[in-house]
Amino acid sequence: MAVKGAVLGDILGSQYEFNRPRNLDWKNVPLVSWLPMSYTDDTVMTLAIKKALVEGKDLVETMVAVGRKYPDCGYGGRFYGWIMGPDHTPYNSWGNGSAMRTAYIGEAFDDYDEMQKMAAEVAAVSHDHPEGIKGAVVTSTCIWMARHGKSKQEIYDYVLEQYPKDYYEYSIAYSLDEIRPRYKWNESCQGSVPAAMRCFYESTDYESFIRNVFSLKCDSDTFGAIAGGVAEEFYGGFGNVDAEGILKEYLTPDLYEILIA
């Protein structure tokens, strides 16, 4: 279930979004550390989109209604205004918020073209810049590919086609060893999606994917949300990670109800 993978990635990644130790032993640190950990806006919007589509409700109205219940979950400045203010028109954003909220699209739609069309529509309600739309479409498509038995190499090739090495600083073509020394915290889709997918590409299970996210000084909760759904679908679950225990502990009852619906 891609949505569970995305939400778990958000929660686990939240530990290091702003509090990452300088010399983090990312290979061996406990998955749940002593640092504060919580769901963020990534989870809230992912679940709002699921609720709208499952219940056949207006997408924007549902995003606003659910989002306003959680005003302190970490929205970016412009998106906070979109949620809390009266104007819900798109604002040409290429931020990674469009990619982190789209897991349900890749999970729910079997038709490839319909999936991509819906991913673009879900992004464009706020993030209508071409890179914002691309981030959502690529994320949904990678989940769809994992669900439909595509190989890791096929997923890699698709992401590389969308984010070629010659034009994107953090293309999936670069290994994590190449990215780690030079990666700078980045809120854009183009600076997040291909690097997050590289974290998946170099993983062997869900836990190693999360540890790869921990290895970068990045927007770690959003990396977890972007590629967590891909990892869960590709590996068919969470392995030894106590996903259910973490999800039940850290989600509110309302959010958990949407998750399992």
How do residues 43-93 score in pLDDT, each as one tens digit?
999 999 999 999 999 999 999 999 999 999 999 999 999 999 999 999 999
- Predicted confidence at residue 62, as pLDDT, reads 98
Residue 30 lies in a domain: no
Residue 63 lies in a domain: yes
Which domain, by its residues, includes 110? Answer: 2-23+37-260
Residue 106 lies in a domain: yes
Q: Using an 8 Å Cβ cutoff, are 12 and 231 in contact? A: no
Q: Using an 8 Å Cβ cutoff, are 225 and 100 in contact? A: yes
Locus of tokens 């749940």? 32
Domain count, the chain: 1
Residue 200 lies in a domain: yes
The CATH number given to whatever domain includes residue 235 is 1.10.4080.10
Residue 31 lies in a domain: no
Residue 32 lies in a domain: no
- Predicted confidence at residue 19, as pLDDT, reads 85
State the pTM of this model: 0.97
List, for residues 119-138, the tens digit of each pLDDT value.
999 999 999 999 999 999 99
- Predicted confidence at residue 239, as pLDDT, reads 96
Residue 176 lies in a domain: yes
Residue 75 lies in a domain: yes
Q: What is the mean pLDDT of residues 198-224?
A: 97
Measured over all CA atoms, what is the biggest interatomic distance in the chain, rounded to whole angstroms?
Answer: 47
